[in-house]
Amino acid sequence: MTHTPTRDALGRWVAGERIMPLPSYASASAPAISFEFFPPKTPALEAQLWACAERLATLRPSFVSVTYGAGGSTQERTHATVLRLVRETTLVPAAHLTCVGASRDEVDEVARRYWDAGVKHIVALRGDPPGREPYAPHPDGYAFAADLVAGLKRVADFEITVAAYPEVHPQAATPEADLDNLKRKLDEGATRAITQVFFDNAVFLRFLDKAVAAGITAPIVPGIMPVSNFAQAAKFCAGCGTSVPGWMADLFEGLDDDVETRRMVAAATTAEQVRILQANGIDEFHFYTLNRPDLVYAIARILGVKPAA
């Protein structure tokens, strides 16, 4: 992916300025998109998920992924959701698999079950233990995501997606070590990386520059999360190392009880974020849907993605 962000005469990034002007709607081509769902915990949430899947399926995403809970706590629900997507929809599902809390044999068996069921795409992650416990590899398991990628490739010729962290994984020793880890995952056979959510486009574009300089050539897809509940999003971001710009807090200030205005602000800010990325050559986006389709559907339309005829 190429981009031409704004720099000053010394080649430094210029803060606070739009990176590139927005393209006209007539000239912008529709990007590839994908969506992330989470497995439902209750019958009501299950109905919400399938309504979300049905609505977003009309946009013909490249794939949809289904997450795991911490410590693999939703493994069975994830598996059931993925298999139902295969059986009952035209969507192409990608199943999340993690290292945490499982032996290699157990992980390999889950992978084989997916392959035999027709699921050929895995999102391979190290995963986090439940609660605030520090991560420790399972004594008989895959230690880290790069090891998991290599193991999955031995099981079958999966398409594999991994995670990338524009603002550095919270447990990485250094930014350089984090980038080296991403390169190892890709070198082991992953075909793309999807980023942790971010809100500052300059952070993402700087990260792309560093990745290219480190010899990474695989696509790095921005992970985009429309924010309509700011307090909830800020809490989530504090736990995963994503910075929340001050201007974002200002935009949502005083809107706790005004759901409709929050939704309009969320649509406007996310649409601007993805359009600026699109202006800088980004041609693929992954949306964290939170199983709520309306905002994501509207933003996809703004990007030029139309429903199937």
User: What DSSP line would sit under 169-226, residue for residue?
Assistant: -TT-SSHHHHHHHHHHHHHTT--EEEEPP-S-HHHHHHHHHHHHHTT--S-EEPEE--
Report the topology of domain 32-302.
TIM Barrel (3.20.20)
Mind telling me the catalytic residues?
36
Is residue 262 a contact partner of residue 228, using CB atoms and an 8 Å limit?
yes
CA gap 237, 234 in Å, rounded? 5
Q: Is 206 exposed, middle or buried (0-12, 13-18, 19+ CB in 10 A)?
A: middle
pLDDT tens by residue, the chain, 309 residues: 444 444 444 443 344 444 566 666 666 688 999 999 988 888 899 999 999 999 999 999 999 999 875 545 567 888 889 999 999 999 999 999 998 888 999 999 999 999 999 999 999 999 877 766 777 888 899 999 999 999 999 999 999 999 999 999 988 899 999 999 999 999 999 999 999 999 999 999 999 999 999 999 999 999 999 988 888 888 888 877 888 888 888 999 999 889 999 999 999 999 999 999 988 889 999 999 999 999 999 999 988 898 876
Global pTM reads: 0.88
Domain boundaries, the chain: 32-302
3-state secondary structure of 32: strand
